[in-house]
Each structure stands twice: as C-alpha cells, then as structure tokens.
Amino acid sequence: MLPKRTWQMIASVIGACIVGYFLYHTVEGERGWVAQMHLQNEVDAAKETLAKLKQEHDALDHRVHLMRPESLDPDLLDEESRKTLNYSKPNEIVILSPPEKNVSAPK
C-alpha cells in the first residue's frame, strides 16, 4: 500500500491534468476563445459586405425609381438609351476601353 502523501500527490496531478484539459479546450477548442474570435471576424466582414450591398441596392433602386413612367428623368433615359444602343452625339469624343474581365470565372 502506498503512503497517504503519495495518494495526495497522485490526486493533485490528476486534478491538475483535468483542469489543464478544460483550460486548453476553453481557449483552443472547437467552441473556445480562439474560435469565437474567428467567428467574430467573419461576422464583421459579413456586416461590411452587407452594408456595401445595401448601398449598391439603394443606388440601383434610386435609378429604377427615376426610370418609372411617373417620375421619368430625361437625362437618365438619354444616358441609358445611348449606352444600350451604342449611340453618340456628333460632337462627342468616344474613348473605347477593353471590356472588364469577369474575376469569378474559372480559368
């Protein structure tokens, strides 16, 4: 039989191992502090993307509103029709640029 002091040391080591295990998983675990920080960064990035998309949506919604029959803007109508039909006025200088490449298309 082992002396009482040895059993106390074994119990202390086992207790320290259990505490260490839980501390490790509190920080590095699947739902730990580090994972929480990564998720928070993803949420912040998604909020920024949402704000940009809302601004773009509002701008497009405003342009659509200006194209409706009850509030038709003649300048916008002229701009859109000339862009769609590739027309220009006789006194305008046209500068052609290459079309933008689609970044999301696989190569």
| Cβ atoms of 47 and 40 closer than 8 Å | no
Closest CA to 83 of 92, 72, 61, 55: 92
Q: Is the pLDDT of residue 103 over 50?
A: yes
What pTM did the predictor assign? Answer: 0.54
Decide: 77 and 67 in contact? Cβ < 8 Å: yes
pLDDT tens digits, 26-69: 999 888 999 999 999 999 999 999 999 999 999 999 888 887 88
Dihedral angle, C-alpha 19, 20, 21, 22, nearest 10 °: 50
Mean pLDDT of the chain: 87
Query: How far is 26 from 22, CA to CA, in rounded Å?
Result: 6
